Amino acid sequence: MTQGDIVSASAGAAQAYGTGGGGREPASLGDILERILDKGLVIAGDIRVNLLDIELLTIKLRLVIASLQTAKEVGIDWWVNDPWLSADAARRADGQDLQEENRRLRARVSELEAGDGQ
């Protein structure tokens, strides 16, 4: 075996490894981020501090990384009800929706009472 054969073989192996055997380019950071946001990523962990078998502190960490669309598909939509992040939630927090509902209910009760008296 000559030195040229070794270089040739290792160059071919590098090319096959880099393309993954399927003719694809190696994944870039953007590709990896797109895949994570599309499928979602969950990192979970618990930290417990014990002293003589007495639990002093427990911290539960849950990190979800996903696109908004993917999160909604799996039922995560806490931002919809957060007044800092949603104008609709802020309006509900101000009581505008409750005031409107109260007005409609009073009108309906008045209609029903007027109908009973006839």
pLDDT cut 90: percent of the chain above it: 14
Between 23 and 50, residue with greater pLDDT: 50
Average pLDDT over residues 8-18: 41
Query: Do 46 and 60 contact (CB within 8 A), yes or no?
Result: yes
pTM of the model: 0.39
Q: What does the alpha-carbon distance between residue 116 and residue 118 come to, in Å, rounded to a whole number?
A: 6
Supply the pLDDT for residue 12: 43
Backbone phi, psi, residue 117, to 5°: -75, -15
Q: Supply the pLDDT for residue 5.
A: 39
CA 43 to chain centre: 12
